[in-house]
Structures are given as structure tokens and as C-alpha cells.
Amino acid sequence: MLAALLAGAHQSAVAQESGKGKPLPEQLYGRVRVIDGKSLAFTEQKETVRLAGYEAPEIEQTATSDGIEWPVGQVSRSWLILRTLRRDVNCAPLIRAGNDVIIAHCFVGDVNLAASAISDGIGYAYNYPNEPQVPAYFDLERKARGLGFGVWSAQGLLPPWRYRYEKANPVHSLGDVGITLAPLPLPPVLRSVAGQEKTLRQEDIR
């Protein structure tokens, strides 16, 4: 059923491809170099691919599970390396993103790399704006979360999209709402009856 869903998503996306810019190949096949936990470079074709419907921790991210710190970003990249090392990867391109990266469903043999990573708790089901959605991935994620696999075993681990936002906006980040507060204004100078100046401290006006 998952294979049929992915095939339908692929046909729909290819039909919507505008044809502007660099052509979208019908298929990519061969050996790859792993860039990070979600991206592959086809060396012969000189194309970069990001796994569709999937997001992995950033390389520099770390996690803590049961009091033990571990390099979650490096683990996600290593997982993808081990699954593709000396193996041919078969990708079905869906669209080409604005940065010329191809968004695709990728397989080693019959194994869907994104689906397998999500099932193992290596990364997250995630829909980038204006990209094909894979609802079945969220079902796999719920199972991995319930079993406490991988990223779901870590206490307080930020998903990569939150991590990127808070890294870019480190001051006064307010969790999910993403609001940045400006500094509070200083209180005005008050003059006493005798003409002496007094400045209200912050605790005076609380």
C-alpha cells in the first residue's frame, strides 16, 4: 500500500513539473555520497537529492537519553551512510527545489530509505511547504515514538526545524510561538516635590 501511495505521489508531482530551469530526470540510479542525514549526492550524475517527506537532525545536534549524551546528528548521517555504502541507490524524483536540489523517494533494493529511517527513530516525518506530502510516514513516526526509538528516547531534543530557528534567533526565544521580545523600556525620570530627581527601578514598578 505504501508503494502504491508513493507511486501515485511521484506521477502527480512529475505531471506538475513546470519544466523551467534544469530538467528533472525521470530516475536517478547509482552510487552516492552522503551529505547529511537527509541528503545524498549522485557523483556521476552531479545531482543532489533530499529525501522527500523526511527531516533528520542537524549534524551538530546532540541528544541526552537516560542521562547519556550522544551525537544524534552524526548518528543520523552514519545511519544513511551504512544503508547506502557500496550499494546502488534508486531514486524517483518528484520536484526540483529552488536551490536546484531534487526532492525524491529513494530506495536501496526494496527498502525505502526515508520510511526505514522514520521507523528506526533516526529522524522525523516532515512536510516542507509546497512539497509532496506522504501521510503514511506519520503513521510510521507514531509507532517509533510510542516505542521510544532513537530521537524519541531523548529528553528535550529539539526537532531540526525548531533547532534551526532557535539557532538563528537565540535571544528571548519563546518556544513554539517563535516570538522575539525587544528590551523593556527604561522608566521615566520622576521629580519629587523638593525638586530632587528619582529614577524608578524595575522592581519599583512590578
| CA dihedral of residues 31, 34, 40, 46 (deg, nearest 10) | -60
Domain residue limits, the chain: 2-155, 168-205
What would the pLDDT profile of 117-135 be if each residue is shown by its tens digit? 999 999 999 999 889 889 9
- Does the CA dihedral 21-24-30-31 come out positive or negative? positive
pLDDT tier, 159 (very low <50, low <70, confident <90, very high otherwise): very high
What would the pLDDT profile of 19-70 be if each residue is shown by its tens digit? 456 899 999 999 999 999 999 999 999 999 999 999 999 999 999 999 999 9
pLDDT, residue 196, reads: 52
Residue type at 198 in one-letter notation? K
pLDDT, residue 125, reads: 96
Q: What is the CA radius of gyration of the chain?
A: 24
User: Cα separation of 38 and 114, whole Å?
Assistant: 8
Which pTM was predicted? 0.73
pLDDT, residue 170, reads: 79
Confirm if 95 and 13 have CB atoms less than 8 A apart: yes
What would the pLDDT profile of 9-29 be if each residue is shown by its tens digit? 444 444 344 445 689 999 999
Q: Assign residue 137 a region (left: φ > 0; alpha: ψ between -120 and 50; beta: otherwise).
A: alpha
What would the pLDDT profile of 174-198 be if each residue is shown by its tens digit? 454 454 445 555 556 656 555 554 4
User: Cα separation of 96 and 18, whole Å?
Assistant: 10
CATH class of 2-155: mainly beta
